[in-house]
Structure 1
Amino acid sequence: MKEENVILVNEADEQIGTMPKMEAHEKALLHRAFSVFIMNDKGETMLQQRAAHKYHSPLLWTNTCCSHQRVGETNIQAGKRRLQEEMGFMAELEEVISFIYKAPFDNGLTEHELDHVMIGKYNDAPKINPDEVADWKWMRPEAVKEDIYRSPEKYTEWFKIIFDKFYSHLIENR
């Protein structure tokens, strides 16, 4: 399978080129990304545990899904595509915040992303893709925040950054 390209951007989220995903992560170049948080009617957030064979952060817990937009794809289209590919369901999504972060990994790769965070609603069990996801669970945001504090090693580096922004958004919009 051909490696996907990521969209290189400047700090204003203007496209300045494309590059193979691994190369962008090796060079720590700023690129466009998205993170999806699915909430249920009880106010819980759906988390996924990354598959064991992932090239970084295997078996760590993270948000419902995340990835990179393709050229010509809106943030919402990309979020819906990846939600279907990873979790096996569709949901309406709303983009709520975006910000830039940088997170280095032990394997020499670095996530340097302008991340578009989206929220959606869903109440059923997902049909997870075992190539992408090992497990899933619902957790109240307050419980996630506490668990990240107690056991940060169980979570992906980007999730710890993104969750803080997501949690602040939830608090501000209650």
Structure 2
Amino acid sequence: MEEYVILVDQNDQEIGEMEKQEAHVLNKKHRAFSVFLLDENNNFILQQRALSKYHSPGLWTNSCCGHPRPNETTLNAAKRRTFEEMGIHVDIQEILQISYQEKLENGLWENEFDHIFIGKYTDNKFNLNPNEIKAIKNVNLVELEMDVQNNPDQYTFWFKLIFPKIKDKLKI
């Protein structure tokens, strides 16, 4: 099934839609979201991307990422994908927006206006989708900062871009 993304301008105003893979090949700015979840001890819940992912396979990143579909709110899309990838329902709130453009290792582009969501998930029970996630781990802020600094090649570029911007907002 073809999946479509919402094309946007630099101010996140909708200007059209395009098939997802085509948008990544043609470097078209589109709407995206990144979900950061914390556990009961305020540890970050990270996912390792499945090895079959079309870009950034095997890298560690935030809990969930994705794109809203045309006529879908970004909040609803973030909740939908969190369930599709992790098998959980969670309350999240938007805390930040960021726009970036990055050429990936396989000739694709990530050119996104990204809505950043944060939430708490304390059950620690997941039903991971193996097509999306290889593994998950919970990491405290100090250990995560050190690991990103010492092993930057183990993390997605967007995680390394967003993480410093949100950690100050979290007050943990």
Q: CA deviation at 1:4?
A: 0.7
Give, in whole Å, the separation in 1 of the partners of 2:143 and 2:108. Answer: 30
RMSD across aligned C-alpha pairs, in angstroms?
1.2
Q: Name the structure 2 match of 1:102.
A: 101
Specify the SS of the correspondent of 1:101: strand
Matched, 1:59 2:36: no
Matched, 1:19 2:24: no
Q: How does 1:1-174 map to 2 (within 5 A)?
A: 2-123=1-122, 124-170=124-170, 173=171
Give, in whole Å, the separation in 1 of the partners of 2:59 and 2:115. Answer: 21
Q: Identity, % of aligned pairs?
A: 45
**Runs (5+) with no aligned partner, structure 2:** none
Q: CA deviation at 1:18?
A: 0.4
Q: CA deviation at 1:107?
A: 0.5
Give, in whole Å, the separation in 1 of the partners of 2:48 and 2:125. Answer: 14
Give, in whole Å, the separation in 1 of the partners of 2:137 and 2:127. Answer: 12
Q: CA deviation at 1:74?
A: 1.3
**Runs (5+) with no aligned partner, structure 1:** none
Give, in whole Å, the separation in 2 of the partners of 1:130 and 1:106. Answer: 22
Spell out, residue by residue over 1:102-142, the C-alpha distance to the aligned partner (whole angstroms, 9 max, x if none).
12111111101000000111112321111111000001122
TM-score (norm 1): 0.94
Give, in whole Å, the separation in 1 of the partners of 2:2 and 2:145. Answer: 34
Spell out, residue by residue over 1:10-43, the C-alpha distance to the aligned partner (whole angstroms, 9 max, x if none).
1121100001111111111111000001111211
Q: Which runs of 4+ in 1 moved over 6 A?
A: none
Specify the SS of the correspondent of 1:56: coil
Counterpart residue type for residue 150 of structure 1: N
Give, in whole Å, the separation in 2 of the partners of 1:142 and 1:109. Answer: 33
Counterpart residue type for residue 164 of structure 1: P
Spell out, residue by residue over 1:26-64, the C-alpha distance to the aligned partner (whole angstroms, 9 max, x if none).
111111000001111211110000111111111110100
TM-score (norm 2): 0.95
Counterpart residue type for residue 165 of structure 2: K
